[in-house]
């Protein structure tokens, strides 16, 4: 193996949006054949810095060098031309096209007449997907795939494009452990091929396996760069947050009370079959499982987005015949969805509007919306959840990914429901903010709410849940006490024998 050399250097990068400085003189360099972990709290500027490299944004000042040569990257095509490809945090696929079409978009195999050869394209895609170990059908429409599967398509597309540098902006945020292992195998291949990999993640524990170097951003400045492992995880977090973080999982002092939600013989084959469980006041019930196990479909059925075909849902003592999302909220049940862009936020509306959307009636006086009350409510949750920037009027689509997630959570906190279904509640949320969210969840439980938490992050389930239910292929296969189980045991139940 050749000794690593600097494949990419970014020098003195400055960027502001509408007068707000987001990047203030950032330097970063990445070696060929290595993984650079790019870390920082939500809103620190990671995605913006990488979008400058990908030609999506133009810097106000600064230079970019590839293999030592200065380059101008005016648009995404330029960046591909210089061998730079990016996996975007907010997936950028075309939903009405197939998996194969998305992988080869703009580079489809064509005949001499310029006609796209569908058959060749599908075969090529199938071969790649098989090589990478991703279980995806080349002809499936991307819009119909789960978030995790779409993430795999996005990864495949970028790997095909990358020649010198590949940026992965939270590639594992909705993947489960098996898929993460597949991705890490691919990353090792990319390193062996001499690519520089820039890897953004809030799952610090996964970095030990792949990171060689680390750069930490805080408030738009690079505050630390060095070899991965040279400083402890606690020090990494300190650099990210600018303060010490006492405990990630705060203690909970909730009394477990009456049953708030009971699900009996719930079915929607082939997604899930014969599901039975209950959640009590003061309790956090975790649901584990691999992607495709039916967890999201189950909570969507309880909420009413995609109703079950048979079975019974009992909410606070009342049987719910036909649940619809609207009726659910009225009945005191809310769902935090895993795909905030598609099913959660109104991206072109303000932070305050998004935050208060599910409980607008609390803001009405004689039928009139009290904008002042809206601002007060929003400000309260901005403080509680450390939402950045702390501006009620900010357009949600312009906020960083993790902060969007906090707005969505704030919406349900403000709606003050009694039963919460949380689907991947901390997806893309930084460590410090995650701990704030856990504190909120604990407060809800302490106030007598029942919480059902679907998560692919096993340390999170072990740290937060009282009981963990494991789903496999649409069935509930185990119920474990969080205090007495381990990641290994959960995975043993979750794993599908081939």
Ligand X SMILES: Nc1ncnc2c1ncn2[C@@H]1O[C@H](COP(=O)(O)OP(=O)(O)OP(=O)(O)O)[C@@H](O)[C@H]1O
* Residue 126 to residue 369: CA distance in whole angstroms: 54
Q: Which of 33, 43, 304, 344 binds ligand X (CB under 6 A)?
A: 43
Nearest Cα residue to 471 out of 282, 324, 294, 274: 294
Q: Is 62 exposed, middle or buried (0-12, 13-18, 19+ CB in 10 A)?
A: middle
* Smallest gap from residue 171 Cβ to ligand X (A): 13
Q: Which does 62 bind (CB under 5 to 8 A by kind): ligand X, Mg ion, none?
A: none
**CA separation for the pair 56, 85 (Å, rounded):** 12
Strands 165-169, 84-87: parallel, antiparallel or unpaired by DSSP?
A: parallel
Minimal distance in Å, beta carbon 47 to ligand X?
3
Q: Of residues 369-388, which lie at the interface with ligand X (CB under 6 A)?
A: 388
Binding part of the chain for ligand X, among 36-44, 64-72, 178-186, 413-421 by CB under 6 A, reads 36-44
Does 403 contact ligand X by CB under 6 A? Answer: yes
Give the pair of three-digit tokens for residue 343. Answer: 């099913």
Region at 288 (left for phi over 0; alpha for psi -120 to 50; beta for the rest): beta
Please state the closest distance from residue 199 (CB atom) to ligand X, in A: 13
Which of 31, 32, 47, 173 touches ligand X by CB under 6 A?
Answer: 47
Least distance from ligand X to the Cβ atom of residue 455, Å? 18
The closest alpha carbon to 430, from 14, 4, 46, belongs to 46
Applying CB under 6 A, among 236, 279, 385, 399 the residue interacting with ligand X is: 399
Per CB under 6 A, 398 contacts ligand X = yes
Piece in contact with ligand X (CB under 6 A), picked from 152-160, 376-384, 401-409, 454-462: 401-409
Strand arrangement, sheet containing 6-17: 20-31, 6-17, 61-66, 69-71
* Owner of token pair 């701990």: 435
Q: Where are the beta strands (DSSP E) in 32-124?
A: 35-40, 61-66, 69-71, 84-87
Which of Mg ion, ligand X, none binds 389 (CB below 5-8 Å, type-dependent)?
ligand X
Category of 366 on φ-ψ map: left (φ > 0), alpha (ψ -120 to 50) or beta: left
User: Least separation, in Å, of the C-beta of 428 and Mg ion?
Assistant: 7
Tell me which of 389, 391, 475, 482 binds ligand X, using CB under 6 A. 389
# residues near ligand X by CB under 6 A: 20
In whole angstroms, give the CA distance from residue 92 to residue 287.
Answer: 28
Please list every residue from 371 through 410 that binds Mg ion, using CB under 5 A. 401
> With binding defined as CB under 6 A, does residue 40 bind ligand X?
yes
Query: If contact means CB under 5 to 8 A according to the sort of partner, which of Mg ion, ligand X, none does residue 271 touch?
Result: none
Cα separation, 424 vs 433, whole angstroms: 14
398 binds, among Mg ion, ligand X, none (CB under 5 to 8 A by kind): ligand X
42 binds ligand X (CB under 6 A): yes
Beta-bridge partners for 254: none
In this chain, which of 31, 79, 89, 405 binds Mg ion, going by CB under 5 A?
A: 89
Contact status: 415 vs ligand X (CB under 6 A):
no
Residue 344 touches which of ligand X, Mg ion, none (CB < 5 to 8 A by kind)? none
Q: How many CB atoms lie within 10 A of CB 68?
A: 9
Beta-bridged to residue 264, according to DSSP, are 312
Which residues are at the interface with Mg ion (CB under 5 A)?
Answer: 47, 89, 401
The residues of the shown chain that bind ligand X, judged by CB under 6 A, are: 17, 22, 40, 42-48, 89, 388-389, 398-403, 430
């Amino acid at each position: 193996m050749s000794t690593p050399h600097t494949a990419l250097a970014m020098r003195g990068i400055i960027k502001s949006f509408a007068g707000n400085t987001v990047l203030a003189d950032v330097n970063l360099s990445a070696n060929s054949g290595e993984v650079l972990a790019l870390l920082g709290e939500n809103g620190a500027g990671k995605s913006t810095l990488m979008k400058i490299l990908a030609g999506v944004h133009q810097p106000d000042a600064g230079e970019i060098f590839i293999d030592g040569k200065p380059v101008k990257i005016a648009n995404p095509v330029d960046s591909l031309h210089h061998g730079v490809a990016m996996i975007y945090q907010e997936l950028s696929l075309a939903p009405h096209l197939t998996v194969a079409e998305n992988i080869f978009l703009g580079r489809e195999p064509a005949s001499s007449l310029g006609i796209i050869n569908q058959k060749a394209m599908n075969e090529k895609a199938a071969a790649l997907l098989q090589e990478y170990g991703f279980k995806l059908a080349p002809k499936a429409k991307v819009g119909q795939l789960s978030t995790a599967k779409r993430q795999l398509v996005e990864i495949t597309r970028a790997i095909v494009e990358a020649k010198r540098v590949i940026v992965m902006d939270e590639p594992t945020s909705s993947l489960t452990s098996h898929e993460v292992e597949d991705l890490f195998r691919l990353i090792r291949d990319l390193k062996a091929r001499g690519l520089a990999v820039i890897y953004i993640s809030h799952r610090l524990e996964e970095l030990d396996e792949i990171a060689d170097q680390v750069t930490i951003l805080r408030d738009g400045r690079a505050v630390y760069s060095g070899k991965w492992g040279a400083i402890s995880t606690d020090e990494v977090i300190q650099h990210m947050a600018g303060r010490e973080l006492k405990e990630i999982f705060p203690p909970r002092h909730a009394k477990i009370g009456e049953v708030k939600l009971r699900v009996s013989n719930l079915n929607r084959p082939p997604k899930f079959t014969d599901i039975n469980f209950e959640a009590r006041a003061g309790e956090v019930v975790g649901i584990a499982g691999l992607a495709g196990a039916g967890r999201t479909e189950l909570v969507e059925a309880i909420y009413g987005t995609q109703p079950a075909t048979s079975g019974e849902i009992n909410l606070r003592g009342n049987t719910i015949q036909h649940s619809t999302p609207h009726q659910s909220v009225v009945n005191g049940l809310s769902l935090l969805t895993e795909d905030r862009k598609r099913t959660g936020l109104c991206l072109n509306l303000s932070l305050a509007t998004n935050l208060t959307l599910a409980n607008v009636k609390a803001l009405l006086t004689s039928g009139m919306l009290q904008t002042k009350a809206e601002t007060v409510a929003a400000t309260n949750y901005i403080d509680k959840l450390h939402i950045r920037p702390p501006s009620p009027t900010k357009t949600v689509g312009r906020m960083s990914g993790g902060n969007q997630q906090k707005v969505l959570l704030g919406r349900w906190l403000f709606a003050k429901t009694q039963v919460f279904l949380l689907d991947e509640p901390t997806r893309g949320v930084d460590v410090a903010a995650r701990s704030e969210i856990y504190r909120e969840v604990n407060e809800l439980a302490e106030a007598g709410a029942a919480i059902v938490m679907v998560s692919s992050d096993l340390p999170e389930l072990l740290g937060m849940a009282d009981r963990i239910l494991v789903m496999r292929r649409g069935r509930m296969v185990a119920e474990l006490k969080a205090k007495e189980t381990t990641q290994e045991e959960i995975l043993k139940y979750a794993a599908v024998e081939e």
